[in-house]
Amino acid sequence: MSILLSHLLPNHLKTNDMLKEFKNFIMTGNVIDFAVAVIMAGAIGLVINGFVADIIMPIVGEFAGGVDFANLKYVLTEASGTEGEAGYVAENAVRWGAWVNTIVNLLIVGFVMFLLVKAYNKTKTPPAPPAPSGPSQEELLTQIRDLLKK
């Protein structure tokens, strides 16, 4: 099969060349850095979701009178019947408490990202000031002329 494909494909699409090109692309620093960033962002997202759901929202709920925000909802249609039987209608509700949890989560993620960017910016070295420019060619020629006149 690969023999047939190698005769049909133009030279720039041969398998070995494509694999080499793909390897060079993958091994560049930007792709590796991006892959690590995506994986770390997923892990940090899980940690922050756990922090919000398990630590922050119970504290906020306690100060709000013992309310569990995750269960707050406005019911549009009550559930009717028995689940699993014919004619069962599931509850239809606007879960605004879960939305509040999501907003708190967003604020915390935004704050953490702000701190990360701020710390990163502190580690960057400021660009070196440009070298002072010397006299122009005309100024040098004028100085030489003035020295020769003396």
Q: Where are the domains of the chain?
A: 2-123
Distances (CA, A) of 61 to 37, 68, 96: 33, 6, 14
Q: Give the architecture-level CATH label for domain 2-123.
A: Orthogonal Bundle (1.10)
The pLDDT of residue 8 = 53
Q: How far apart are CA 58 and CA 66, in angstroms?
A: 8
105-132: buried (b, 16+ CB within 10 Å) or exposed (e) per residue?
beeebeeeeeeeeeeeeeeeeeeeeeee
Q: Which portions of the chain are predicted below pLDDT 50? A: 1-2, 4
Parallel, antiparallel, or unpaired for β 92-94 and 74-77?
antiparallel
